Structure 1
Amino acid sequence: MREFRVAVPQAQLDDLRERLARTRWPEPATVEGWTQGVPLDYAQELCAYWADGYDWRRCEAELNALPQFVTGLDGGGDDSVDIHFLHVRSSNEDALPLLLTHGWPGSVVEFLDVIGPLSETFHVVAPSLPGYGFSAKPTVAGWGVERIATAWAQLMDRLGYDRWVAAGGDWGSIITSALGTAAPDGLRGIHLTMPVAPRPPEGSVPPLTEAEQAAVADQATFRTVRSGYSAEQSTRPQTIGYGLLDSPSAQCTWIVEKFWDWTDCAGHPENVISRDRLLDNVMLYWLPGNGASSARLYWESFGGRRRTDEVPVPTGVTLFPHELYRLPRSWIERRYTDLRHYTEQKTGGHFASMEQPEVYVAELREFFQTLR
């Protein structure tokens, strides 16, 4: 295990600006708004700011103000991957260790505004997924959800934590659920913002309320008209990677579109997340060249083992109204058999720690305090 600091060469930042200046823009969409994707005028405005107004060194300093480390983890396989992680210990030596896992198109940037408040209560460990952020890229196949979960248990053991809890959203929810299924020594409970569970057999749960029926219908809409990114990344991650690594405007819009679609933003992502923070997150894909490696997690994890195994550890769930999957509580309870904490919030979406940081921190504190 070794200490890590972010130190991006100026040449990389100069290259980014030069590439942005040479962007070959398409014509505008044939309809107004975001129906066909990121509108041309906003894409040009955002990329112009990225080139001439955005300050990466500010984000770099923010990351470097936190203790960062790299360690090789094998996840139970034959090859090891160097994993980057933040490790912010609480001033309270008896604090409960908390493992936070991000997803796509997120990064540890998702947690920058909550790590401080959380570290008042927890020792916070926030790793970058393999092939994401400043973690290394796997060079062989096999790094799917279950292997990452095993690697995370290895990480907590290596840090000397014999009693800990875990939380996550997006892939972080799925990986945290896999941890809960395996229930490694030391794991006391998990918290999720996007629990995934199968549809129960007919008649095995109470009839759905109108609100639950609407939420289930939203899932069908998501699969048909909002999940093209997933189909591409789960089948041809290498192909999409060529464009994402070569063109900063492509990488930026590929990500920012999801912050429009998946946040409770009333039509514009910057209504809930600042322009600088959006670009901070994009930079953790652009600078390390993670377009293909981050997409590959979909290829590794889709079409294989179903994410329906029972999760017996104590579980807390916080559902936000603009989350991608808002399953009925009765479905969640069938998979997460020790559901001890369940709340439904009035505002917020998929990126809970960025959109509603105070609520997110309060929810983790309230649930995990019961497991001490």
Structure 2
Amino acid sequence: MSAVTPFRIAVPDAVLTDLQTRLDNTRWPEAECVDDWSQGVPLAYTRELADHWAHGYDWRARETALNRFDQFTTEIDGLDIHFIHQLSSRPDAFPLIITHGWPGSVVEFAKVIEPLTDAGFHVVCPSLPGYGFSGKPASTGWGIERIARAWDQLMTRLGYDRYGAQGGDWGSVITSQIGRHERGCVAIHTNMPMGRPPKDLANPTAEEQEALATIADRQKWGDGYFKQQATRPQTLGYGLVDSPAGQLAWIVEKFREWSDCDGHPENVFTKDEMLDNVMLYWATASAASSARLYWESATGGRGAGPVRVPTGVASFPKEIIRMPRHWCEDSYHITHWTTMPRGGHFAAFEQPELFAGDVAAFFDTVR
């Protein structure tokens, strides 16, 4: 059995010095031709964020804050996996693995790990392969199915033969796959359930009309990043790994588009919070390796068949694709559904109290 090795985040000084130099020497494009975000992140705001990153943001303080969590690495299927493993003091604590997506990271869960451990959960929070401080696959094959198997192996290695799983974005897809096939998983929770409209949908309700309109709008205006990462992640990587301003804009655009922020990301996130997440991509040069998960999914599938273990859903109003419950019933054994009053795609990051409360309430029914 591979060892579980303690880990602390320690970005070299040389990386930080190089980052500031690159930010100060950025060759900027001209400004957009519109007065909104319809052509992408506005130049003025990108320059504002970049200046703060170079001259106001204190990574060492942020690094120390992230290192309050117990972190480890272990080799699974030939790849080093980084993960947080935060134990609860409660004797009846229930093991829970929580999985991020793109453009997220373990930073997304920094506000909910402690509330969940206080609520009686041993929290395991891994970095996806090719993301953050996990290893970068050097060959193809690290798709959804393989990650789900690796997460089950991780939980077994940590001594958990019975556990729950939670996720959004890619984390939702991986969590669903764990719920389908991994015997140690007894229940799952997701904030991005995936379903499909009925084939004979002749007279859609208002809720269904809204869902269909959201899907159509996303297909027309919101899927460009997906297509690029699913087809040419390597080409994209050259620009993003070399340019911190490019990496910053690529991620912050989604924080604005996918969160419940009323038009501006800083209505939900601070500059430092967004930069914490961007730093996990920049410091590890993981733009291309993280994007390859889209390529793997496009070439290898995303799992199939219904999830038969009990499933909890937290439905946030600004999720990028918000499915009505009855569209999801064939895909999951839904035993818990909460319609949230606010929040978007980055649920744990945006609304940590609502998120942690719903996760705890659901898994308390199966612990």
TM-score band by shorter chain is over 0.9
Could you tell me how far 1:198 is from its partner in structure 2?
A: 3.2
The 3-state SS of whatever aligns with 2:337 is: strand
Matched, 1:274 2:270: yes
CA distance in 2, matches of 1:365, 1:107: 21
The 3-state SS of whatever aligns with 2:160 is: coil
**2:110 corresponds to which letter in structure 1?**
L
CA distance in 1, matches of 2:116, 2:224: 35
Q: Cα RMSD over matched residues?
A: 1.2
Choose from 73, 76, 79 the match for 2:76: 73
Could you tell me how far 1:70 is from its partner in structure 2?
A: 0.2
**1:353 corresponds to which letter in structure 2?**
A
Could you tell me how far 1:333 is from its partner in structure 2?
A: 0.5
CA distance in 1, matches of 2:300, 2:337: 29
Could you tell me how far 1:191 is from its partner in structure 2?
A: 0.2
- What are structure 1's unaligned runs of at least 5 residues? 75-79
- What are structure 2's unaligned runs of at least 5 residues? none
CA distance in 1, matches of 2:34, 2:237: 28
**2:216 corresponds to which letter in structure 1?**
A
Matched, 1:157 2:156: yes
CA contact (8 A) 1:200 1:331 kept: yes
Which residue matches 2:186? 188
> What percentage of aligned pairs have identical amino acids?
56
CA distance in 2, matches of 1:124, 1:282: 23
CA distance in 2, matches of 1:138, 1:227: 25
The 3-state SS of whatever aligns with 1:264 is: coil
Structure 1 segment 203-222 matched on structure 2, within 5 A: 208-222=204-218
Which residue matches 1:335? 331
Which residue matches 1:110? 108
Compare 99-108 and 113-122 and name the one that shifted more.
113-122
Matched, 1:30 2:33: yes
The count of aligned residue pairs is 363
CA distance in 2, matches of 1:58, 1:211: 45
Could you tell me how far 1:253 is from its partner in structure 2?
A: 0.3
C-alpha distance after superposition, 1:80-122 (max 9, x if no partner) = 1100000000011320001000000000000001111001120
**2:91 corresponds to which letter in structure 1?**
E
CA distance in 1, matches of 2:136, 2:266: 30
The 3-state SS of whatever aligns with 2:362 is: helix
C-alpha distance after superposition, 1:125-144 (max 9, x if no partner) = 00000000100100000001
CA distance in 1, matches of 2:92, 2:244: 44
The 3-state SS of whatever aligns with 1:91 is: coil
Compare 1-10 and 83-92 and name the one that shifted more.
1-10
Choose from 8, 11, 34 the match for 1:8: 11
CA distance in 1, matches of 2:99, 2:178: 11
Choose from 237, 242, 249 the match for 1:241: 237
CA contact (8 A) 2:145 2:302 kept: no
Calculate the TM-score normalised by the size of structure 2: 0.97
CA contact (8 A) 1:263 1:322 kept: yes
Matched, 1:199 2:197: yes
**2:5 corresponds to which letter in structure 1?**
R
The 3-state SS of whatever aligns with 2:330 is: helix
Choose from 246, 252, 259 the match for 1:256: 252
CA distance in 2, matches of 1:367, 1:154: 24
Which residue matches 2:322? 326
**1:368 corresponds to which letter in structure 2?**
F
Which residue matches 1:83? 81
Could you tell me how far 1:343 is from its partner in structure 2?
A: 1.3
CA contact (8 A) 1:70 1:82 kept: yes
